[in-house]
Amino acid sequence: MSVSAPPPSVTVVIPIFNEEAVLPELLARLTKLFDGNPAVSWDTLLVDDGSRDRSAALVREQAVRDPRFRLIEFSRNFGFQAALAAGLAHARGEAVVTMDADLQDPPEIIPALVAQWREGSEVVLAVRRTRQETGVRRAGMDLFHGLFGRVADFPIEANTGTFGLMNRAAVAALNQLPERNRFFPGLRSWVGFATGEVLYDRQERAAGQPQQTLLKLLRYALDGVFSFSYLPLRVLTYAGVFIALMGFAAATFYAVRRLLGIETAPTGYTTLVTVVLFLGGVQLIGIGVLGEYLARVYDEVKQRPAYLIKRKTGLG
């Protein structure tokens, strides 16, 4: 008698932070998805990043009713990337789906990601065909995705974010990367593996307010640039060479004029102030860029853990 193979196991990893308003719908839609796809063994690992509302309590209640839901609680807020790293480190599925909690990434797309994986893709990217954000956030995201692909030293798929799937080998490779200033889409691309794509339409946030403020998004964008591009340092080098050449040309110009007796004492207060302020600004920008890289080196050297876990529910 032949023994049928066990169904493939998939873990859905979701960081949460003050998502009380959206969690009931998220949990209900995931439950419906799991029940409607019995050919896959599902579980969800939610990582609470120090929420101050009832987010953790809601997930604990769900875990009591449905053992397919599990929870990790941090001792405080360590940030979205740390929560994502903890989820990947504790995920047990043969494939791992990563997504946000705000339902802008519809859970109903997950079966398409799983299907692409079962067809042979080791990493499946959910690529945004359209998105609903407007205003400053939309303009900033479009600007970042437009520029990042040009400045990154390593090719990274545009219009992708957290949403996607990785097989067990890709997750294991990603878990080996020790860095603390993490840019997940870049790290996911960096580890390689055969990659597939699924197009989807990014939705509006289901409820509540975005937990990623513009300042946090800016920091995240800087992490991406400084983690995957040396261009800022190269620009400083090019700027230094250009300014040095301009200075040499100006010195030669005035020296020739003096030798020819055309002008013995050139004056120009405005020109002098402009040049001094310009050079001072370039120097300060250079110090700032070096500081950004140095601060990240300092974080790595300290070797502090990326997160501390206070409690686990459903993980044994």
Q: Does the structure show a pLDDT above 60 at 126?
A: yes
* Alpha helix (H) residue ranges in the chain: 23-36, 55-65, 80-90, 110-118, 135-151, 168-175, 184-190, 214-228, 231-259, 269-302
Q: Does the structure show a pLDDT above 60 at 286?
A: yes
Residues 235, 216 share a domain: no
Residues 309, 296 share a domain: no
pLDDT tens by residue, 137-182 = 555 555 555 565 565 556 667 777 789 999 999 999 999 887 777 7
Q: How many CA atoms lie within 13 A of 14 on its CB side?
A: 30
Residue 280 is encoded by which pair of tokens? 């001072």
pLDDT tens by residue, 91-122 = 999 999 999 988 888 999 999 999 999 998 99
What residues make up the domain containing 272? 231-302
The mean predicted confidence, pLDDT, of the chain is 78
Residues 235, 224 share a domain: no
Q: Residue 1 domain-assigned?
A: no
Tell which residue, 296, 170, 145, has the closest CA to residue 221: 145
More confident site: 192 or 243: 192
| Terminal Cα distance for the chain, rounded | 34
pLDDT tens by residue, 219-249 = 655 665 556 666 666 677 677 767 666 766 7
The pLDDT of residue 140: 56
Residue 157 is encoded by which pair of tokens? 């798929």
Residues 288, 167 share a domain: no
Residues 236, 205 share a domain: no
Residues 235, 138 share a domain: no
Contacts for 162 with CB less than 8 Å, ≥ 6 apart: 84, 98, 99, 100, 105, 184, 185
Torsion angles phi and psi, residue 140, rounded to 5 = -65, -40
